[in-house]
Structure 1
Amino acid sequence: MEFVVKSAKATTLKTDILVLPVAEGGVLDNTAQEIDNLASGALKTALERGDLTGKVGQTLLLQGLAGLKAERVLLLGTGQDAERNVRQWRKIASALLGALKNLNGRDAVLALQDVRVSDLDSYASARQVVEILADGQYVFDRFKSSKAPARNLKKVTLLGGRDEQAQLKRAAQHGKAIANGMALTRDLGNLPPNVCNPVYLAEQAQALADEYKSLKVEILDEKKLAKLGAGSFLAVAQGSEQPPRLIVLQYNGGKKDERPYALVGKGITFDTGGISLKPGLNMDEMKYDMGGAASVFGTFRAILELQLPINVVGVLACAENMPSGGATRPGDIVTSLSGQTIEILNTDAEGRLVLCDALTYSERFKPRAVIDIATLTGACIVALGSNTSGLLGNDDELLQQLLQAGNQAYDRAWQLPLFDEYQEQLDSPFADIANIGGPKAGTITAACFLSRFTKNLSWAHLDIAGTAWISGGKDKGATGRPVPLLTQYLLDRAG
């Protein structure tokens, strides 16, 4: 879908669908009143009949209006001016998406420039609309015999004043890049695990590098990982016939000597739990346990499209966690890349075992900050549900930057404590650390484990177990989160 920004008057544009706002109480803005005058009062007539009252998300299609260049007019309820916030605005944009999907138009013009949102400027409000409309075109039907029909809507024009053109163009560019990144993340997550394994992800990284020459990729196989001493990472993979891969992405859009920002992604392409086997119900959804790695792919896709003036490194720890005669057992002790020994009490706490070696590996790039992203703990879903990602770390400034980025992108996170008292739950009588801390505060103790490997780093941890995918039912699928949050963080760093 193409997004275009213009400063033209809505009355002069020929389009299949002209979208006009109606505030609650049937209030038309200046543009809608001009259209109504040209259409001999047809809009007011419909409103006086009560066909639409202007409540948030209401839509009404008017056809055959004389005097207009637009073939059809879509009235869009925008609620009360005083109560219109970002959440309501997203509902309005989602309603617009639903209406446009049901229409057979090839293009649409959005005359929403005079609609004000209390906590968004013109850039942010336009970007939200672009992201929702672009992401709403996503379909995953690769394995269906009957494909979804092609969408006719190919072009959306955003109207705005001359003084807003630069902001709106930037919003359209950023919004579309983020939606494209989300689409890649969703594709990788939705693929079946017999297709999307660690080697496949390595191939996708190389394909991305072939598309964007500013991306450099390095792949470390099990022999290289063993030579490095990544014993914790390899312990997770040893039960599977699928070989592990550590995928390193390097984008150098900034100055040569600038330290990069690092994104470390958990890439467990299928998680049975290993010897500590998971229950069978909904185990198919454990293909989404590579959501952290997938979100790093998506974020790189967005920043590559935008060619941000910034240096970014991605380190993706990709493996499959399977039970077999060669699998790691509860009670095994392994030596991590950092040299610390780990007693594995539960093989289903495998994400932290691959992440700790990936975090240690990231140190060699001397990053300004490191953010790891992982579908790490069911406890995070208990604590925060599926709306908000968990956030922990050792650098308050970094944590605040991520919280702010999440709020701006409406891909929010919530900070949980990382007090020293929780560290005691990871004590082991036989090794430097145990890989689980018992039933209490599971999300926090998982982050405590990772913190043992980030003492030399400015580090934050995003637990996306509740936000990376929608579970069960006809809407089951990857969400593309937290690509908006991560991309916004990097946009902020790029200035």
Structure 2
Amino acid sequence: MSTPVPTLPTTLPDVDVPARARAGAASIVLTRTSDGAGPALIGPGGDDLTPDWVDAVGLTGKAGEVLPGPLGSATAWVVGIGAGKPEHWRTAGAALARAIDAGLAADPEASATAAVHLPDDTTADEAALLARGLRLGGYRYRVTEEEPEPRLRSAALVVSDKDRRDRIAAAVRRSSTLDLATAFARDLANTPSNVKDPAWLARTAAKAAGRIAGLDTHVRDERWLADHGFGGLLAVGGGSSRPPRLLHLSWSPPDAEGPHIALVGKGITFDTGGISIKPNEGMHLMRTDMAGGAAVIAATLAIARLALPVRVTALVPCAENHVSGSAYRPGDIVRHYGGRTTEVLNTDAEGRMVLADGLVYARDLGADILVDAATLTGAMKVSLGVRIGGLFANDDEVASRLADAGASVGESWWRMPLLDQYAAEVASDIADVRQCPPGPGAITAALFLREFVGDLPWAHLDIAGPARADRTYDDVVPGASGFAARTLVEYVASYVAGPRS
């Protein structure tokens, strides 16, 4: 019998923008830090928050501070937005969602709905970030026999003025699509690998895509892969009893403008390291080694839901890197799709093997720009830590668009160099290239991938650090973070308005 997993996608709280609060909703008062003495209450409400109460509870207004209102008060929660920077609004929403969830766990009869009366100077972007925190801050993935605890069900961002309400509602609705993408990427990456084999990942993505008009799906099995020469994907997946798959999503709207963009995501559903086996410590986290593929899948669904008029091809080579008599070996020479050969030096560097096939295939499908996303190297985690993604690119405009897209959705990227002094090290004595050239690991991995992109503009997103979290911060909770999904959506959207001036 298969292991039960939560129903995917995870249901997120509804956030709408009405003119008045619903009856029974918990009333929320916002407060910010102040240059003067004590915090500043902002927006409607809070008349019952006396100076004595503020002093007694030590209210500061800092971002993410959440305190219950006075006993018997009409105010259920007081929430700090700090100095009101964009990231503070998201932090505040996430902290509020977690506080409400904790309150419901202690008292299931408490209200599972909340009403935040937005101050008159709240921008549409700020409201959308508050909504993002409310939706994602309480995200949870658990496989358990216990009944789910009650959680925040809905929130209202109350705006009385109609024109402002319409603008804010539009921003909140658009943000919802990106938030759903983040949550679905988390769902896919969090799913345990006894359930999530290559066929499951491709099938689950295809099922989700099938609900969106105009989004075409193909799932290629191991026979098709062999017939078409996908040697990298077949080599990596050859050690598992659960054969590889290639997921191909195609979004080709009739009003498409700008370039044809290919998104290629690493879909390693579990990574033992193969014959170059990993240490036991931390190996359980390798269920999230397809987080790049999850981000590509979720982003493509969101692009189609938003009906962005840009042609997008998404490719996710899915494989399980396992140990067996049929596993590929150090010293093997693998022929990739398109004919280029790789000398294998380390079977734990499997992500670049499958991405190489995907990048060349994307070229054959007529892509104008290539972007790949992968939990590729531990070296990237050492270099940038766990909250910043590494961005490599052979094209300044692509790099700039990706960095700007990330900044707009709260995902940080740092552009890394493609150092030419290491490029010669990629060549092999007995094959076209070698898989693990000497030198700085993240950079040489990117240089290896560059060998397969031809003359096309290309970017490589190494998300080994921020793809998973071991603690709560902002709207992120322990487990898969969904990092890069929102960036990819906004990157594609950046071409809708035409070329930059």
- Matches of 1:94 and 1:199, distance apart in 2: 34
Task: Tell me the residue number matched to 2:68.
Answer: 61
Aligned partners of 1:285 and 1:471 also within 8 Å = no
Aligned equivalent of 2:59, options 52, 55, 73: 52
2:138 aligned with 1:137, yes or no? yes
TM-score by length of 2: 0.87
2:27 aligned with 1:18, yes or no? yes
- Matches of 2:160 and 2:345, distance apart in 1: 59
- AA aligned opposite 1:477: G
- Matches of 1:287 and 1:318, distance apart in 2: 12
- Matches of 1:479 and 1:291, distance apart in 2: 9
Task: Tell me the residue number matched to 2:412.
Answer: 412
How far the C-alpha of 1:75 sits from its partner, in A, is 2.2
Aligned partners of 2:203 and 2:219 also within 8 Å = no
Aligned partners of 2:351 and 2:374 also within 8 Å = yes
Aligned partners of 1:260 and 1:365 also within 8 Å = no
Aligned partners of 1:110 and 1:159 also within 8 Å = no
Task: Tell me the residue number matched to 2:237.
Answer: 237
- Matches of 1:187 and 1:47, distance apart in 2: 40
Aligned equivalent of 2:115, options 109, 124, 128: 109
- Matches of 1:42 and 1:123, distance apart in 2: 27
Aligned partners of 2:269 and 2:319 also within 8 Å = yes
C-alpha offsets along residues 406-425 of structure 1, whole Å, 9 cap, x if unaligned?
A: 11111111100012212122
- Matches of 2:257 and 2:92, distance apart in 1: 45
2:129 aligned with 1:128, yes or no? yes
- Matches of 1:294 and 1:213, distance apart in 2: 20
Distance 1:105 1:472, change over 3 A: closer
How far the C-alpha of 1:160 sits from its partner, in A, is 6.4
Distance 1:158 1:351, change over 3 A: farther
2:447 aligned with 1:458, yes or no? no
Distance 1:445 1:162, change over 3 A: same
2:74 aligned with 1:74, yes or no? no
SS for the counterpart of 2:277 is coil
C-alpha offsets along residues 185-221 of structure 1, whole Å, 9 cap, x if unaligned?
A: 1111111112101111121132113322321111222
C-alpha offsets along residues 339-367 of structure 1, whole Å, 9 cap, x if unaligned?
A: 22111111111111100010011113322
- AA aligned opposite 2:131: V
Task: Tell me the residue number matched to 2:15.
Answer: 3
- Matches of 1:404 and 1:229, distance apart in 2: 37
Aligned partners of 1:21 and 1:75 also within 8 Å = yes
- Matches of 1:95 and 1:160, distance apart in 2: 25
For residues 296-445 of structure 1, the aligned pairs below 5 Å read 296-438=296-438, 440-445=439-444
SS for the counterpart of 1:211 is coil
Aligned partners of 1:356 and 1:453 also within 8 Å = yes
Aligned equivalent of 2:43, options 7, 13, 31: 31
For residues 186-197 of structure 1, the aligned pairs below 5 Å read 186-197=186-197
- Matches of 2:429 and 2:146, distance apart in 1: 57
- AA aligned opposite 2:251: Y
How far the C-alpha of 1:114 sits from its partner, in A, is 4.3
Aligned partners of 2:257 and 2:311 also within 8 Å = no
2:149 aligned with 1:149, yes or no? yes
Stretch deviating more after TM superposition (179-188 or 43-52): 43-52
How far the C-alpha of 1:233 sits from its partner, in A, is 2.0
Across the aligned residues of Structure 1 and Structure 2, the Cα RMSD in angstroms comes to 2.5
- AA aligned opposite 1:211: R
- AA aligned opposite 2:135: A
Task: Tell me the residue number matched to 1:494.
Answer: 496
- Matches of 2:424 and 2:390, distance apart in 1: 21
How far the C-alpha of 1:395 sits from its partner, in A, is 1.1
Distance 1:49 1:277, change over 3 A: closer
Distance 1:248 1:273, change over 3 A: same
How far the C-alpha of 1:29 sits from its partner, in A, is 5.2
Stretch deviating more after TM superposition (299-308 or 480-489): 299-308
C-alpha offsets along residues 59-82 of structure 1, whole Å, 9 cap, x if unaligned?
A: 33336768xxxx534222333x4x
Distance 1:472 1:334, change over 3 A: farther
- Matches of 2:377 and 2:289, distance apart in 1: 10
How far the C-alpha of 1:171 sits from its partner, in A, is 2.1
Stretch deviating more after TM superposition (308-317 or 151-160): 151-160
- AA aligned opposite 1:274: G
Stretch deviating more after TM superposition (263-272 or 462-471): 462-471
Aligned partners of 2:403 and 2:413 also within 8 Å = yes
2:484 aligned with 1:482, yes or no? yes
For residues 170-249 of structure 1, the aligned pairs below 5 Å read 170-249=170-249
Runs of 4 or more consecutive aligned structure 1 residues displaced over 6 Å after TM superposition = none
Aligned partners of 2:389 and 2:412 also within 8 Å = yes
Distance 1:446 1:342, change over 3 A: same
How far the C-alpha of 1:273 sits from its partner, in A, is 1.0
How far the C-alpha of 1:293 sits from its partner, in A, is 0.9
- Matches of 1:161 and 1:368, distance apart in 2: 45
TM-score by length of 1: 0.88
Task: Tell me the residue number matched to 2:255.
Answer: 255
Aligned partners of 2:26 and 2:114 also within 8 Å = yes
> Structure 2 stretches of 5 or more lacking a match?
1-12, 104-109
Stretch deviating more after TM superposition (200-209 or 455-464): 200-209
How far the C-alpha of 1:303 sits from its partner, in A, is 2.5
- Matches of 2:80 and 2:470, distance apart in 1: 31
Distance 1:58 1:291, change over 3 A: closer
